[in-house]
Amino acid sequence: MPAPPPSTIAGHGPAIELIPQGEMSLRRSMETTTAKGFLSNATDFSSGVSFEDPQDEDLRATKSTRGNAAGMRRLGKDQQLVRNFRQLSIISFVAIAKAAWEIGLFVVTPGLVDGSRSGLVYNTIWNLIGFGPVYLSMAEMASMAPIAGAQFSEFAPESCQRFLSYLTGLTSTMAWQSANAMGIFLVGSLIQTMILVNDENYAFPSWQGTFLAFAAMGIAYMGNVYGSRVLQRWQNAVCAIHILGYFGYIIPIWINAPRATHQQVWADWQNEGGWGSLGLAVLVGQLSGISQQTGIDTAAHMSEEVKDAASSIPRTMIAVYLINMALILPAIITIVYHIPDLDAALNGTMTYPALYVLRQSMSVGWVTVMLIFITFVNMASNIVYLDAATRDLFAFQGTREGLPFSKCLSTIHPTRQIPVNACILSCASALLLVLIYIGSMGVDALPPAQVPKHVDVCVQMAPEGQSLPPSRQG
C-alpha cells in the first residue's frame, strides 16, 4: 500500500490536512481580520441590540426603534418625521395642549347661563364619564395604527372607506383648525382683561383683541418652526408649572372668597338663556362640559414623533384623561361654590365668571399676577396645539389629498424635518377665523369629528371574518 502524502495523516475518518507553520500564520491573520470586520458591524451583545443593517442609518436619523419601523411598514407608511418625544414628554405635551383648567375655567359661561350652577356641575360630571369610552376607543385605535391620521384612514370598512375616511378627515381638520383659533383668541382676550383689571375705564375694543391674537399666533408659529428641535425639552417644566399654578388658583378662593349654599350648587337649575324648556337649556349649557374634555386626541396626531408610539400614545391619552378629571372637576366645584350672586358673575366687569371669583379672593395686583401666569400657559398651549393641528392637516393631505395643493402641504422641510407649509396654512386659517370672531366656538366642533371613527371600529368588531390591525394594548 502506498504511503500517505507528507501533508496528511491517515486516520479512521477523512484525512487530516497538515498545514505548514507559515501558511497557518497567514490563515490565522486572515480569520482575525474577518472577525474584526464582522464585529465592527455589531453592537454590544449585552445591551440586547441587534446587528447593523441598511435600515440603521434611517433609524438613527429619525430616532426610531425597530418596532416603530415595523409598524410603519405594516401600515405602508414612510418615516418622515423625527421621533423626539418619549413617554413623559408626550404626556406633558398633551396636558399643556389641553390646558384643562386654564382653558376650562374660561368656557363656563354657557353652563352658568343655561342650567345655572347645578347645570354646570352636573354637565361637567356626565361629560367626564361620557368621554371615558370615547378616549378608550381612540387609545385602542392609536395602538392598532400608531400613525398621524390613522383615525380617518385605517378603520372604515373597505366598501365605503374612501368616502367615510374623507368625511371624517375633513371634519377633524376643520375642527382642529377652528380650535386653533380659539386658543389665540383667548390669549388676546386675557391680555385685554389684564388691562381692564387695572383700568376700569378701558373700553375693551375688539380690534385690539384681534391684533393681540395675531401676535399670539406669531409666537406660536415661531415656537413651532424655529423652536421645533427643542419643543420636547421644555414640556415637562411647563407641565409642572401648569399643575402648581392650579393650586395657586383654587386655594386662595377657598380661603377668602364668599360662598354659595349647598342648595344653590347642587339643586338650583335655571334657564337664563330663554330656551323653551329647562331640559333644552341644560342640553345647550353642556357645551361647557364638552369643551372641557376635547383635545386629548392631540396625542394621536403626534404618533409619528413619539418613540414606541403603539404603547406610548394609548397610555398618554388615558393618563391625560385622568389628570384632566382630577383637575377640572374640583376647579368647577370651586367656581360654583364661590358665586353667591350669579347675576354679578355673569354681568360684571371682569368678562369671565372665573375671574370674578378670583377677584373676590385677592387684590388687583395678585389677580394681575395670576392672569400673567394663565396667559403664559395658554401661550405655551397655543404652541403645542398648533403643532398637533399641523400634523392633523399634514396627515389628511398625505393620506387622502383632501385639500388643494396636497403635495405642497404634505412636504417635509429638508432641514427642520417638519411640515412647514402645513403650519403656515394652519396659522393663516386661524387668523382668518379670528378676524370674524367665531374662533371661540371652534373647540365644540371636535366631538362630531370623532363619531364616525368609533362607529367604524364598532361595526368592524361585530361581524365575523372582518379584522382590525393588531393592538399593542388590546
Q: How many whole angstroms separate alpha carbon 320 and alpha carbon 235?
A: 14
Domain boundaries, the chain: 85-451
Please give the average per-residue pLDDT across 171-184, as a whole number. 88
- How confident is the model at residue 35, as a pLDDT? 45
- Local confidence band at 30 (pLDDT 50, 70, 90 cut-offs): low
Which value, to the nearest 10 degrees, does the dihedral of the CA atoms of residues 450, 225, 432, 452 take?
A: -10
What is the pTM for the complete model shown?
0.78
- How confident is the model at residue 55, as a pLDDT? 60
Please give the average per-residue pLDDT across 387-405, as a whole number. 77
Please give the average per-residue pLDDT across 130-146, as a whole number. 89
Please give the average per-residue pLDDT across 264-272, as a whole number. 92
First-to-last alpha carbon distance for the chain, in angstroms, is 75
Report the CATH superfamily, name and number, of domain 85-451. Amino acid/polyamine transporter I (1.20.1740.10)
Q: How many whole angstroms separate alpha carbon 181 and alpha carbon 202?
A: 24
Residue 20: is its pLDDT beyond 70? no
Triad 291, 444, 133: Cα angle to 5°: 65
Residue 299: is its pLDDT beyond 50? yes
More confident residue, 6 or 434: 434
Longest dimension (CA), the chain: 124
- How confident is the model at residue 10, as a pLDDT? 44
Which value, to the nearest 10 degrees, does the dihedral of the CA atoms of residues 241, 325, 305, 376 take?
A: -30
- How confident is the model at residue 83, as a pLDDT? 87
Please give the share of the chain, as a percent, with pLDDT higher than 90. Answer: 45
Q: How many whole angstroms separate alpha carbon 55 and alpha carbon 70?
A: 11
Residue 263: is its pLDDT beyond 50? yes
- How confident is the model at residue 156, as a pLDDT? 67
Please give the average per-residue pLDDT across 386-411, as a whole number. 78
Lowest mean pLDDT among 51-60, 250-259, 429-438, 439-448: 439-448
- How confident is the model at residue 446, as a pLDDT? 43
- Local confidence band at 253 (pLDDT 50, 70, 90 cut-offs): very high
- How confident is the model at residue 464, as a pLDDT? 46
Residue 362: helix, strand or coil by DSSP?
coil
DSSP string for 207-236: HHHHHHHHHHHHHHHHHHHTTGGGGGGSHH
